[in-house]
Amino acid sequence: MAKLVLVVDDEVLIAELTGEVLADAGYRVLLAHDGREALEILEREKPDAIITDYMMPRLDGLGLALAVSAAPQLRHLPVVLTSAVAGDVLERYPGVFARFLQKPFDLTDIVATISGLLREE
Amino acid sequence: MQRITTGVPGLDTVLGGGLLRGRSYIIQGSPGAGKTILANQACFHRAAEGDQALFVTLLSESHDTLLQHLSTLDFYEPHHVPQSVYYISALGTLQREGLDGVARLLREETASRKASLLVFDGLLNVRDATGSAPDLKRFLHTVQTQAAFAGCTILMLTSAQLDDQSPEHTVVDGVIELGNMVTGVRTVRRLQVRKFRGGASLEGLHQFQIDQRGVTIFPRLEAQYALPSMEDEASSPEDRAGTGIQDLDAIMGGGGIPRNSATLVFGPSGIGKTTLGLHFLAASQPDEPALHYGFYENPKRLLSKATALGLDLRSQVGKGQLEIMWHPPGERLLDAMGQGLLDAVARRGVKRLFIDGLGAFERAAIHLPRLVEYFTALTSELRARGVTTVATWESRNIVGGSVETPAPELSSIVDNLVYMRFVEWRARMHRLMAVVKVRDSAFDQDLHHFCITKHGLEFVPQKDGADALLSGFAHRSPAAAGEVPSA
């Protein structure tokens, strides 16, 4: 069965577009619009990777990634951070994110990043 | 009531000190009017002040595109994002949970980030999402009440042209409108505070510009300085500032121009108005920093001109005694000019000011009738700051039978008037000068013949009645049989 990717972004259009590009590349996709909604989805779904924005309402991308890495059943999940302004979060939290993509990103980069990560697995 | 500053140059002055804490405001204007830049500028200012700002959008423009644009502007400090300025979209929440969800999101995010400023961009989408005016009002009331409770000031941005009776306007505490007026072939951006509860704001249309620094607002000078910012420095009519031309000092009543006054020198192009001004600047003493505020010659040419007139302005500039501000030709904003002038005066404590070309102010004025109030406010403020000002006004006729005065209002605004003109006499042009008015002082009312030499502006001793020349059609007066002295 096709691999499942959870896309988390409060900007609806970006979430949808990212989802469509991944679907075109053969992935199954779930969408969430903030970190809290993503965690709710993770309670019932078992995605193979997460792509998350940084600045979001309720729970940001860092909060989501920290929650994922703290949960034994989720910590194997690669989390890709996408942001226009990640600041020093990558340095302060080494190992929390599998990859970082600077926004605005090229949609082919998203597919390449995900396929690369899932192939590594 | 506690205020929070926006840091947008000029806006806090217009608002009487800033926005009120915990209140909600609408900023409206067509796309491209500058709403987003202005609001972001305020966010980064709050961040610089140690506060948290939250920017919530309901728009389809992505945040990374917005941040890319902002990153080209001076106020953008990357280290404030996301720590102190935080961008989120509420569009998904609106689609899934409706307006109640958006209101809840705003409340939660404001509280969790302890934001002192919340920008909500996309009020038009709220209008589209509500079925009725009561729904819209209820949403706005909810958001407003939450903000008041949290002590967070809200700026709601909309591209709708809302009127005073709209539900949005009736609910919020203030409305700031940004517009772009076409006048002739140029456009001028203008800001108006249409509503401001709980405080006095400067009324009217204030010009603004958008450039590398973001939005800069120039409060209407006549509104900002309706009353001078300080009390007049007391000075007696005997307290004089020498013009650097002894003969002129003498005919103005002795000693020169009364201090803290405004003098208008008017006459045709090439008569010697600038020369008079350069004498005035060259005569400045160490305790009277001088400023040349001009539009015609650039500093290099001006200094060369002074040297040719035997005036050492170069060393004055070198010592910091004199500053030359040159404004090359171009489209200018009247209030930006006035503000720039007053800022330059304040910066160095200028006491001697020469404005070469009040006509440049006239050309910058979009609405000519306001010039009277504008110049009144400007001259009053300069007097209050203890500045002795000499300004020039170019009359159109080079020679002629009529005496052309500047706008009558201008003549009454200034304290002193000096009139210059050419006359033709035996196939030569001659220069004449007369003092027309000196504040609270007697003065010599005769016409005086002068010329421009390598020593600058020099009076020519009168042997015959120069008054005969005033008509411009020179003739020998019956009383004077001698020659007009040559220069």
Please list every residue in chain B whose beta carbon sits closer than 8 Å to the beta carbon of residue A14: 62
Q: How confident is the model at residue B487 (pLDDT cuts 50, 70, 90)?
A: very low
Please indicate whether, in this complex, the C-beta atoms of A58 and B62 are within 8 angstroms of each other: no
Q: Which amino acid is at A6?
A: L
Please indicate whether, in this complex, the C-beta atoms of B89 and A10 are within 8 angstroms of each other: yes
Cα–Cα distance, B190 to B178 (Å, whole number): 6
- What is the average per-residue pLDDT within B304-324? 96
Share of chain A above pLDDT 90, in %: 84
Residue B81 has pLDDT above 60, yes or no: yes
Residue B407 has pLDDT above 70, yes or no: no
Residue B485 has pLDDT above 80, yes or no: no
Where are chain A's structural domains? 6-101
Check if A65 contacts B (Cβ < 8 Å): no
- What is the average per-residue pLDDT within B22-41? 96
Question: DSSP class of residue B94?
Answer: H
- What is the average per-residue pLDDT within B66-71? 94
Question: DSSP class of residue B486?
Answer: P
8 Å CB contact between A89 and A54: yes
Instruction: Give the tens place of pLDDT for each residue, B126-174.
Output: 888 887 888 899 999 999 999 999 999 999 999 988 888 898 999 999 9
Minimal CA–CA distance to B46: which of B12, B91, B69? B12
Beta-bridge mates of residue B450: B431, B459
Please list every residue in chain A whose beta carbon sits closer than 8 Å to the beta carbon of residue B77: none
Q: What is the pLDDT of residue B466?
A: 57
* CATH code at B240-469: 3.40.50.300
Q: What is the pLDDT of residue A71?
A: 95
Check if A41 contacts B (Cβ < 8 Å): no
8 Å CB contact between B153 and B19: yes
Residue of B nearest to A103 (CA): B64
Q: Out of B65, B78, B95, whose CB is closest to A85?
A: B78
- What is the average per-residue pLDDT within B39-49? 98
Cα–Cα distance, B316 to B238 (Å, whole number): 26
CATH assignment of A6-101, among 1.10.510.10, 3.10.20.70, 3.40.50.2300, 3.40.50.300: 3.40.50.2300
Q: Which amino acid is at B119?
A: V
As for the ipTM of the complex, it is 0.90
For an interface test with B, the pick among A8, A9, A11, A14 (most B C-beta atoms closer than 10 Å) comes out as: A11
Please indicate whether, in this complex, the C-beta atoms of B62 and A14 are within 8 angstroms of each other: yes
Cα–Cα distance, B38 to B6 (Å, whole number): 9
B330: left (phi over 0), alpha (psi -120 to 50) or beta: left
Question: DSSP class of residue B252?
Answer: T
Question: Which residues, 6+ apart, have CB-to-CB distance to B240 below 8 Å?
Answer: B249, B252, B254, B255, B256, B257, B258, B259
Q: Out of B82, B89, B108, whose CB is closest to A85?
A: B82
* CATH code at B3-219: 3.40.50.300
Helices (H), B182-298: 221-224, 246-251, 273-282
Token pair recorded at residue A9? 């972004």
Instruction: Give the tens place of pLDDT for each residue, A22-32.
Output: 999 999 999 99
Please list every residue in chain B whose beta carbon sits closer than 8 Å to the beta carbon of residue A58: 105, 108-109
Distance from CA of A121 to the nearest CA of B (A): 31
Token pair recorded at residue B332? 């200018």
Q: How confident is the model at residue A43 (pLDDT cuts 50, 70, 90)?
A: very high
Q: What is the pLDDT of residue B486?
A: 44
The burial of A106, by beta-carbon neighbours within 10 Å (0-12 exposed, 13-18 middle, 19 or more buried), is given as: exposed
pTM: 0.88
Check if B63 contacts A (Cβ < 8 Å): yes
The pLDDT mean for chain B works out to 90
Q: Which of B138-152, B227-241, B408-422 has the lowest mean pLDDT?
A: B227-241
Look at chain A and count its residues.
Answer: 121
Please indicate whether, in this complex, the C-beta atoms of A84 and B67 are within 8 angstroms of each other: yes
**Phi–psi pair at A26, nearest 5 degrees:** 105, 5
Please list every residue in chain A whose beta carbon sits closer than 8 Å to the beta carbon of residue B60: 13
Distance from CA of A4 to the nearest CA of B (A): 22
Token pair recorded at residue B236? 């007696």
For an interface test with B, the pick among A55, A59, A93 (most B C-beta atoms closer than 10 Å) comes out as: A55
Burial B44-62 (b: 16+ CB within 10 A, else e): bbbbeeebbbbbbbbbeeb
Q: What is the pLDDT of residue A89?
A: 86
Tracing tokens 């994002």 back to the chain, one arrives at B81
Q: Which amino acid is at A77?
A: L
Token pair recorded at residue B17? 């000190």
Instruction: Give the tens place of pLDDT for each residue, A51-87.
Output: 999 999 999 999 999 999 999 999 999 999 999 887 7
Instruction: Give the tens place of pLDDT for each residue, B254-296.
Output: 899 999 999 999 999 999 999 999 999 999 999 999 999 999 8
Q: What is the CA radius of gyration of chain B?
A: 29
Q: What is the pLDDT of residue B481?
A: 46
The burial of B300, by beta-carbon neighbours within 10 Å (0-12 exposed, 13-18 middle, 19 or more buried), is given as: exposed
Q: Please, how many CA atoms are within 13 Å of residue A23, restricted to the half-sphere of its CB?
A: 10
Check if B93 contacts A (Cβ < 8 Å): yes
Question: Which residues, 6+ apart, have CB-to-CB distance to B367 below 8 Å?
Answer: none
Q: What is the CA radius of gyration of chain A?
A: 13
Check if B96 contacts A (Cβ < 8 Å): yes
The pLDDT mean for chain A works out to 94
Token pair recorded at residue B356? 């070469």
Residue B468 has pLDDT above 80, yes or no: no
Per-window interface: B 340-379 vs A, CB < 8 A: none
Per-window interface: B 102-121 vs A, CB < 8 A: 105, 108-109
Check if A1 contacts B (Cβ < 8 Å): no
Residue B232 has pLDDT above 80, yes or no: no
Check if A14 contacts B (Cβ < 8 Å): yes
Please indicate whether, in this complex, the C-beta atoms of A12 and B89 are within 8 angstroms of each other: yes
Please list every residue in chain A whose beta carbon sits closer than 8 Å to the beta carbon of residue B88: 10, 55-57
Look at chain B and count its residues.
Answer: 487
Strand order in the sheet with B262-267: B322-326, B290-294, B352-356, B388-394, B262-267, B416-425, B428-437, B447-453, B456-459
Q: What is the pLDDT of residue A22?
A: 97
Residue of B nearest to A60 (CA): B88
Residue span(s) of chain B under CATH 3.40.50.300 come to 3-219, 240-469
Q: What is the pLDDT of residue B184?
A: 86
Please list every residue in chain A whose beta carbon sits closer than 8 Å to the beta carbon of residue B81: 55, 85, 87
Question: Which residues, 6+ apart, have CB-to-CB distance to B136 below 8 Å?
Answer: B126, B127, B130, B167, B168
Question: DSSP class of residue B33?
Answer: S
Q: What is the pLDDT of residue B301?
A: 95
Find how far residue B299's CA is from the centre of its chain: 22
The DSSP bridge pattern shows strands A49-53 and A79-83 to be parallel
Tracing tokens 């959870």 back to the chain, one arrives at A6
